[in-house]
Amino acid sequence: MPLGLLSEDAPRRLIPGGSFFGIYRHVVSDGGLPANRQRQLAAQTIAGGEVVEVALTTSVLSGTITVNGALATASAYDLGRVYLRGEGGDVVTLGDTFAGAFSRRVVDGDYTIHYAVERGGAGGAGQQRREDQVDHGEWR
C-alpha cells in the first residue's frame, strides 16, 4: 500500500495493525533524494491508529569509472553501466562507463557493485547483455 510521496506534507494513510516493512522507491529527483529503485526498510510492528515515522539515512557516493585504468570511449555500439545491488531486489545505477564519473545519493546499507555491458550491432540487431559482480574490497 503506497504511503505517499516525500513531497507530500505529512501524508496520512489508515493502516491496519500488524507487522510491516516499508519499501523506498525512487521516482524522480534532482539528486537530493536517494536513487534506489526498491530499497527494503526495517520491519515495524504497528498498532492500529498510531503515527509512524519513516526516517531514511543516506549517503552520497561519488567516484570515477575507468576501464583498464583509462576512461572508456563513447560508442554507438557498446554501453557499459556500473550499479549497486542491495537486498530485496534493490538496484541503484551509479553511471555509464563513457561518463567517467558518478555521484548518487543512496539509502545507507550493504550493496554489491556490478558492471553490465549492452553489446549489439547497428539498430540493436543481435543485442546481448553481460553482467559481472565487481570486486570492490571493503567499500561500503
Residues of the chain with pLDDT under 70: 1-14, 75-78, 118-140
Q: Is the pTM of this model over 0.75?
A: no
Kindly report the CATH number assigned to the domain that includes residue 82.
2.60.40
**Structural domain contains residue 20:** no
Burial class (CB in 10 A: 0-12, 13-18, 19+), 64: exposed
pLDDT value, residue 59: 94
Domain assignment present for residue 19? The answer is no
Distance CA 92, CA 7 (A): 21
Residue 50 in domain: no
* 121 HSE (CA, 13 A, CB side): 2
Residue 1 cell numbers, joined: 500500500
Residue 83 lies in a domain: yes
**Domain count for the chain:** 1
Q: Are 81 and 102 in contact (CB under 8 A)?
A: no
The answer to whether position 26 is within a domain reads: no
Containing structural domain, residue 110:
58-134
